Amino acid sequence: MKTSPKAVTSKLRNIVLFWGFGASGAAGLIYEVAWQRAITNTIGSTSYSISILFAAFMAGLAIGSHFSGKWFINQKDFVKIFGRLQLATAFFGLATYFLINNLQPVYGGIHGLVSQNPILFNLSQMILVFAVLLMPTTLMGASLPVIIEAWMLRVRDAGQTAGDMYSINTWGAAAGALAAGFILVPLLGLRATNLAAVLINLLLALGAFIAAGLSPPLRKTVKKPAVGIVAEPAGGQKA
């Protein structure tokens, strides 16, 4: 029995949307582990620096999730949008790692200016890390509403959709954190670990673009019904 091209396309879209979102969660936590180690090497291992990193990471995810629904709500092909987000995340994920490794002069200048004031020093650290991580983490956060909207066009169950997508993304994040901490960083080092996350994003972007190019957008323009077919005369009286 032959499988129709439409069925193949639908299956590929499902893989990209569902399992791809899990893989993007893994990439996000690989980035986080690599960036945390790189920031520790740059500004020191303190509870403040680690707390700032996690706060900046989560704030970026929240910002991206908040604005994504407004930016993309009227778009037609969410699979293609997901691909673009993954491509942009790969670019900024690569750039962020190199920015972190070149923070030492900036951090040294801040330390020389405000080291005597702990509150101002910690605030300066926070602003510096937030500025570096804002773009990639915002792009990561923007993926969740896009994926949920795309999946809703298939299942029409908001609760189940959000639960499924959040679950697969969280499992992916857990797998990414374990892989980064126990396998990638010890065996490959920080730079290659960061590149592994970049590669995941690029592969997801490629898969999304292929899936989006095989079929028309999921969301189609709904034509308005013809006016006057069953309309009643003014005053509500039947003709």
Kindly state whether residue 227 falls inside one of the protein's structural domains: no
Q: What is the mean pLDDT of residues 41-62?
A: 82
Gap between the Cα atoms of 136 and 99, Å rounded: 12
Kindly state whether residue 222 falls inside one of the protein's structural domains: no
| Count of the separate structural domains present in the chain | 1
Kindly state whether residue 233 falls inside one of the protein's structural domains: no
Kindly state whether residue 207 falls inside one of the protein's structural domains: yes
pLDDT by residue (tens digit) across 131-146? 999 999 999 999 888 8
Kindly state whether residue 3 falls inside one of the protein's structural domains: no
> Which residue range forms the structural domain that includes residue 93?
9-214
Gap between the Cα atoms of 215 and 174, Å rounded: 33
Gap between the Cα atoms of 61 and 166, Å rounded: 13
pLDDT for residue 89: 96
- Which band of pLDDT confidence, cut at 50, 70 and 90, is reported for residue 203? very high
Kindly state whether residue 34 falls inside one of the protein's structural domains: yes
Q: What is the mean pLDDT of residues 69-80?
A: 72
Kindly state whether residue 237 falls inside one of the protein's structural domains: no
pLDDT exceeds 80 at position 227 = no
Gap between the Cα atoms of 16 and 123, Å rounded: 40
pLDDT exceeds 50 at position 232 = no
pLDDT by residue (tens digit) across 153-193? 555 555 566 677 788 889 999 999 999 999 999 999 999 99
Q: Which residues contact 28 (CB under 8 A, 6 or more apart)?
A: 140, 173, 176, 197
- CATH of residue 79's domain is 1.20.1250.20
Kindly state whether residue 117 falls inside one of the protein's structural domains: yes
Burial status of residue 219 (CB atoms within 10 A of its CB: 0-12, 13-18, 19 or more) = middle
Q: What is the mean pLDDT of residues 12-38?
A: 87
Q: What is the mean pLDDT of residues 4-12?
A: 57
Gap between the Cα atoms of 97 and 190, Å rounded: 9
